[in-house]
Chains A and B, each alone.
Chain A
């Protein structure tokens, strides 16, 4: 073996490598410390980001299927004029549940779940910064999922649309508990998203492998980091609006949205869209994070314009908070305000355009290989650009007023979300499934899946542009034959069934490959990120030793071996913390182990939110129950683990 170049070793021989024996011994020791507990209890108490991430991804994908079934029901109802499959009341519940499921229970959770699974792997960490908070976030989300669907089957599904405008959603026009279900459910999922965001931010800032300075962070992780900041500033708006305002107006007669007592219905729209517009980018930016490594890997070259891509991410996030009023052009917004929000809405196309051009340049300069993941990226560029262009059209007030609340808007938002969110997500599944499961997905079925999906999406949603321009309003359960909208609606319904077929093909592929797929090995695509330096699926401790990084593409480095850090304890869960900017090793951190308290506290939150629909006293009951959980959690966190090295001032002292 040639001697590797000497670098930052501290007292270790420059040519030392770990022997197979040492590696095996250490791996066994680490596995005994890091693996989940056994059986069902182990499953309930896990705090491993991989177990939780996988669970999150599967739950959120099941929600995609549920939302898809609702979509198919709506499309079947609309396939011909004056259809009677779904009555107006059922239709209202179905379209509201569809939107709520797709936005709150599928799109945001699955994007953050991908981050929770992969960010630690990509930055060389063994877990997220707050593993128990991560478990709490998942369980909170899970309670929300169960709550919505139990309510729907109990004929209490929300029915005022996924943005539940007042006064329709207020106590006067929506008596009963349907809107309450929506208001509380939204808060569950926002709490879960906030837990994930804080986790991803702190993990990214403090747990990167030594050498991974800010300018070497993978673009996937950059996207997750930027989106996490967006979540921190967007989600509190909807949590405030839904629980502290809407639910309170309905439960305890507060007057936020009651104009008779000085309240204001438009306040709801401001609060909702201040969250709602960034939400679109919260879904879309992580998807762009999926695209870069796929394009790099299958073009066989580093991405063109790394800095431009990072800047485009950050700029998009800033602009995303300055656009919300373009959802409100049909309300009396002052003219100056309209111009400002029109300009901002058009401006945001620029950073998005920069990213598209960077990927096209990468493909142009490389040798593209058309694997399924890559096909989905190309499908994304085609579909998303179409959705983006109708977005620029809608930014114009004059046009927006014509198209407002018509199927044109439905077409636009589905092009953006399916093109910009779901296509890259499917690409990501094909790309990273081998890492999660250890087996390859079938490429032939994958290509069938891709083509069916691309055709289905365009067949479903392209006709909706025309229907919208012809004046067909959204959210109607039927229409008259004399409108002439029948044929295009039938085409859209046929497209929806093709999408359903494509998803069935995907599910078949996953089930077939999970057990019988070709073994993947650590790096089946010969890709460059740290996640490909470890076995597939990753072991419980993820990295045997924390890697040291010298470039943006550690696995494309010509070095024959991999520089790593040693010295973390193997007799307890220990992770390395590094400095926020330069990622220099700074301290060792004792990471928490399995715990039941996150699940317990999530259930207490459930008691609070579900109970408060019926009586405010449940808030008190749940607070009491939570106090028990918090004490239990704290007792577990303050067990005495033995001697620590404590940094005090400039000195370090040993302390029992």
Chain B
């Protein structure tokens, strides 16, 4: 083997970084792409089976209700504010700020999971009634699993911030958590428009 000749010392480089400089950001992005793409494929299937129906929703199937899904969307959009502030506090290395805004964010996002149960019943059709029911239940249900995971992540991170000393890299985690939340809400906005609002317009 050849002799090793040092040409550069990296000891001074940072060991905690934010955004695209950090590995966790890339990993989060990877899973966002996978989950976003899965949702896109379910959308494609939704439109594919729609071709088999003359009316959409099918005859004798009521339109989805709007009230609960709209409240849920509003709640999610409101939670953007603490999410953005938690991310900003993370980048400013402000431990108290991260804890405060994660707590506010948790208070806002926990009810979204509860409301999701009523989002499903607001579809006004069962999953086994017809292919329309199947498609809308899968769209809303699949998103429910993402929502549950992300809310769990947010609440878990908040509890950790209250209960134990957190390492410096958790500042970066707080900012990635907000990024993933924006994505989850954006997906919901798309589902809301296509599943709940769409059939009223087209």
Contact = CB atoms under 8 A, between A and B. Distances in A.
Interface of A: 1, 4, 7-12, 15-18, 23, 129-130, 133, 194, 197-198, 201-202, 205-206, 210, 232-233, 236-237, 239-240, 244-245, 248, 252-256, 258-259, 261-264, 267, 270-271, 274, 522, 533-535, 544-546, 548, 559-569, 574, 576-577, 580, 585-590, 623, 627, 630-631, 634, 638-641, 644-649, 652-653, 655-656
B16 interface: yes
Contact of B10 (A206, A237, A576): A576
Contact of B9 (A194, A535, A565): A565
Given A236-B37, A264-B49, A631-B156, A4 B5 contact: yes
B162 interface: no
Contacts of B30: 197-198, 201-202, 232
A572 B99 CA distance: 28
B4 interface: yes
A197 to B, nearest CB: 8
B97 interface: no
B183 interface: no
Contacts of B5: 4, 15-18, 561-564
B180 interface: no
6 contacts: A129-B27, A202-B23, A245-B45, A255-B129, A264-B131, A631-B156
A206 B23 CA distance: 7
Interface string B125-166: 001111111110110001000001000100010001000111
A252 B148 CA distance: 21
Nearest to A557: B2
Most buried by B among A259, A261, A535: A261
Contact of B52 (A18, A262, A566, A574): A262
Contacts of A274: 41
Given A254-B138, A587-B15, A590-B169, A17 B49 contact: no
Interface string B2-37: 111111111111111110111100110011011001
Contacts of B168: 644, 646, 655-656
A267 B48 contact: yes
Contact of A262 (B17, B53, B170): B53
Contacts of A9: 6-8
B93 interface: yes
Interface in B90-114: 91-93
Nearest to B48: A267
A236 B38 contact: yes
A1 B4 CA distance: 13
B72 to A, nearest CB: 21
B170 to A, nearest CB: 6
B193 interface: no
- Closest 7 A/B residue pairs (Cβ): A567-B11, A262-B131, A647-B14, A198-B30, A253-B128, A644-B168, A567-B9
Most buried by B among A197, A240, A563, A590: A240
B128 A252 contact: yes
A81 to B, nearest CB: 43
Contacts of A652: 12, 14
B27 A644 contact: no
Given A16-B5, A17-B5, A638-B164, A588 B131 contact: no
B52 A585 contact: no
Most buried by A among B3, B12, B138, B170: B3
Nearest to B36: A236
Given A261-B130, A640-B166, A12 B7 contact: yes
Contact of B93 (A210, A233, A655): A655
Contacts of B138: 244-245, 248, 254
Given A232-B30, A271-B45, A568 B93 contact: no
A244 B134 CA distance: 10
Contact of A565 (B10, B48, B92, B133): B10
B52 to A, nearest CB: 5
Contacts of A574: 15
Contacts of A580: 20
A441 B27 CA distance: 38
Contacts of B192: none
B52 A627 contact: no
A645 B41 contact: no
A267 B45 contact: yes
B10 A254 contact: no
Nearest to A266: B48
A237 B13 contact: no
B171 interface: yes
Contacts of A586: 13, 17, 21
Nearest to A533: B1
Nearest to B166: A638
Given A129-B27, A254-B138, A270-B48, A648 B92 contact: yes
Contacts of B3: 1, 17-18, 560-562
B152 A627 contact: yes
Given A587-B15, A646-B15, 6 more contacts: A239-B38, A261-B131, A565-B6, A566-B10, A576-B13, A655-B168
A240 B134 CA distance: 13
A12 B134 contact: no
A655 B15 CA distance: 10
A647 B18 contact: yes
Given A11-B9, A587-B15, A18 B4 contact: yes
Contacts of A198: 27, 30-31, 34
B89 to A, nearest CB: 12
Given A522-B1, A638-B164, A655-B16, A254 B137 contact: yes
A589 B23 contact: yes
Nearest to A20: B3
A587 B17 contact: yes
A534 B130 CA distance: 61
A577 B18 CA distance: 13
Contacts of B131: 255-256, 258, 261-264
Contact of B8 (A10, A240, A590): A10
Nearest to A257: B131
Given A262-B49, A644-B169, A12 B8 contact: yes
Contacts of B134: 248, 254-256, 263
